[in-house]
């Protein structure tokens, strides 16, 4: 009921499904707190994790010990399974990987769907684990030294680092967010592809001009063709190699995960420098 200008207005709340006051959507795995208020299990679990305390978002009741959250199985939304969408990461614990993951755990090094994520919101020990948005190649997204998420890029050492790295080994270095570095790299990658396409077009034009000149030379076509055969072969080999590199860069540019994108770029840069050094050493 809501009071307005001295009158009491009542609404039929049964006309529409109840909603979670955190996500403002219909309940998904509704869980009741000791104070009586109800939220989506995932919403209240994330709320507590982010704020670092077990408190009700509505009445501000504080719980010294983490309450045992139990979901109301009778009011859960229908469990829908089906083929995963392109780029969707499967839950590591679903049979046949049939459901998409909604969170990845940097402690468990696993990705979970809504159902299998429940223990991370219900258990006090699992509730301390760091959950992040779903990522592919989860092992590669964690710092091997500190076990923290790689979310920064050190431009001084050209490597991906975590928050602890920035305060220790890379202290004082030029450090920027992963997303910012990835955006810069993708712009450079775009210009690199344009240069490759221009180089391909230049060689195609050369091949076409040679073929036209052979037809218009008035000399013996076989003899003229034999004279230009090696040059055309060389140009066609260069075109093939340039197209291969362009296809690789196109595939790389479509990488959605910025961390994985930077890791591949760093690896390719290291390989290029190594090959260049080996080439130079071959002259000595």
* Cβ neighbours, 10 Å, residue 187: 10
Instruction: Return d(Cα 264, Cα 252) in angstroms, integer.
Output: 8
For the entire predicted model, the pTM comes to 0.54
Strand, coil or helix: what is 281? helix
Instruction: Return d(Cα 106, Cα 125) in angstroms, integer.
Output: 14
Instruction: Return d(Cα 226, Cα 251) in angstroms, integer.
Output: 38
| The pLDDT value given to residue 240 | 92
More confident residue, 261 or 219: 261
**27-41, 42-56, 126-140, 229-243, range with the lowest pLDDT:** 126-140
> Please, which residues have CB within 8 angstroms of residue 131's CB and are 6 or more apart in sequence?
46, 49, 103, 104, 105, 106, 117, 120
Q: Is the pLDDT of residue 165 over 80?
A: yes
Question: Using 50, 70 and 90 to split pLDDT, how confident is the model at 45?
Answer: confident
**In 3D, which of 194, 169, 167 has the Cα closest to residue 249?**
194
- Which pair of structure tokens corresponds to residue 16? 């529409």
> Please, which residues have CB within 8 angstroms of residue 55's CB and are 6 or more apart in sequence?
48, 61, 62, 63
């Amino acid at each position: 009921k809501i009071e307005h200008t001295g009158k009491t207005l009542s609404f039929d709340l049964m006309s529409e499904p109840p909603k979670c006051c955190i996500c403002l959507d219909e309940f998904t795995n509704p869980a009741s707190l000791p104070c009586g208020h109800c939220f989506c299990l995932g919403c209240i679990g994330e709320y507590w994790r982010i704020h670092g305390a077990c408190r009700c978002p509505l009445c501000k009741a504080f719980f010294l010990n983490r309450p045992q959250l139990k979901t109301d199985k009778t009011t859960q939304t229908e469990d829908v399974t089906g083929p995963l969408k392109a780029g969707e990461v499967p839950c590591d614990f679903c049979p046949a990987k049939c459901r998409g993951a909604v969170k990845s755990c940097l402690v468990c090094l696993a990705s979970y769907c809504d159902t299998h994520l429940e223990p991370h919101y219900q258990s006090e020990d699992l509730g301390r684990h760091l959950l992040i948005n779903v990522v592919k190649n989860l092992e590669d997204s964690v710092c091997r030294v500190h076990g923290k998420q790689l979310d920064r890029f050190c431009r001084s050492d050209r490597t991906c680092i975590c928050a602890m790295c920035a305060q220790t080994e890379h202290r004082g270095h030029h450090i920027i967010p992963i997303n910012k570095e990835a955006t810069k790299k993708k712009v450079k990658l775009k210009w690199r592809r344009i240069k490759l396409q221009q180089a391909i077009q230049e060689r195609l034009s050369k091949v076409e001009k040679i073929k036209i000149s052979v037809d218009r030379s008035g000399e013996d076509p076989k003899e003229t063709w034999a004279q230009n055969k090696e040059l055309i072969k060389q140009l066609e080999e260069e075109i093939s190699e340039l197209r291969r590199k362009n296809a690789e860069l196109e595939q790389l540019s479509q990488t959605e995960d910025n961390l994985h994108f930077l890791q591949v770029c760093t690896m390719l840069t290291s390989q290029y420098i190594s090959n260049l050094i080996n080439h130079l050493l071959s002259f000595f």
